[in-house]
Amino acid sequence: MEQIKKTVKKTLVQKAASSKKIVEKQIEENDKTDLNTKPWLQFPEPESTVDLSHLKATDLLPKEFYHQDVVTLSKELLGKVIVRETDKGIVKCRIVETEAYKAPLDKACHAYGNKKTERTSSFWLEGGHCYMYSIYGANYCLNVVASQEGNPEAVLIRACEPLEGQQTVIPHYRGQIKSKNVKEITGGPAKFTKAMDIDVKRFNGIDLRNKKAKLYIEKGKDVKFQMGVSRRVNINYAKEWVDAPWRFYIKGNTFVSVKDP
């Protein structure tokens, strides 16, 4: 009888071990499948460890702020203020919508595969620099480079809310907006750069931590808001990366460019 009990116990242990291996294998296969269909899951999204509480609203953001992972930086840039010193006066706009782009695997990224060209060379600069590109030669998009030098990651600024200069400076550059929809002013990546007189020729590659360039980012006033998250806009070419939840925005802000795509 004792021998039978031992045999039964041994059999049960073996079955349990076998079942555990099967489950572990299934989990492993599921993980592989997830990474094939959701490759962004392999990248952690660390919380920001940069303390800005000692800064005034008009202070520039420190170097270490820009050295963060691009997804973290995309979230942390919400609420910060872009400042542009123009010939017509100062324009200030609060960042209300961003998108993260991370080489080498992100197929929506201009630096996908770590392919470096003259056009994209600013992508490889140290975090805190400006990477700009044009669409159809006339519409300009501003990106804030993240992370360390040589590690191509950048945050696309998709939309901003005018805080200063909207009655004086912005109309000079943006022209008369006939639409009553306020997002037509700065509610889009090419709209706000036009409103703030920002272009590729003068600002691609500049250091956003230096006021000498007349384009920089301040901490801004501490404003409470809820953050929305969605997939990025107009990147249907990015295959399995199309659904990466790397677009961030201030919920309820009227200047956010689009509803969740």
In the block, residue with structure tokens 């123009």 = 86
The mean pLDDT of the chain is 88
pLDDT tens sequence across 43-81:
888 888 899 999 999 999 999 999 999 999 999 999 999
Q: Kindly list the domain boundaries of the chain, sorted by start residue.
A: 39-250
Task: Quote the percentage of the chain above a pLDDT of 70.
Answer: 85
Q: Once rounded to an integer, what is the mean pLDDT over residues 170-174?
A: 87
What per-residue confidence (pLDDT) applies to 34? 75
E runs forming strands in the chain: 81-86, 89-102, 130-135, 139-145, 153-164, 215-218, 227-230, 247-250
What per-residue confidence (pLDDT) applies to 45? 84
CA dist 102 and 104 (Å) reads 6
CA-based angle 260:70:65, to the nearest 5?
120
CA dist 145 and 100 (Å) reads 10
Q: Report the relative pairing of strands 215-218 and 227-230 from DSSP bridges.
A: unpaired
Q: Which of 116-120, 167-171, 173-177 has the lowest mean pLDDT?
A: 173-177
Residue 253 has pLDDT above 50, yes or no: yes
Residue 33 has pLDDT above 60, yes or no: no
The model carries a pTM of: 0.86
Q: Which residue in 214, 224, 71, 52 sits closest to 130, CA to CA?
A: 214
What per-residue confidence (pLDDT) applies to 27? 37
What per-residue confidence (pLDDT) applies to 18? 56
CA dist 105 and 152 (Å) reads 11
What per-residue confidence (pLDDT) applies to 44? 85
Cβ(97)–Cβ(247) below 8 Å: yes
Q: Once rounded to an integer, what is the mean pLDDT over residues 85-111?
A: 96
Report which of residues 168 and 227 the model is more confident about.
227
Q: What is the CATH number of domain 39-250?
A: 3.10.300.10
Q: Once rounded to an integer, what is the mean pLDDT over residues 185-190?
A: 94
> Distance between terminal CA atoms of the chain?
68
What per-residue confidence (pLDDT) applies to 31? 44
Report which of residues 96 and 170 the model is more confident about.
96
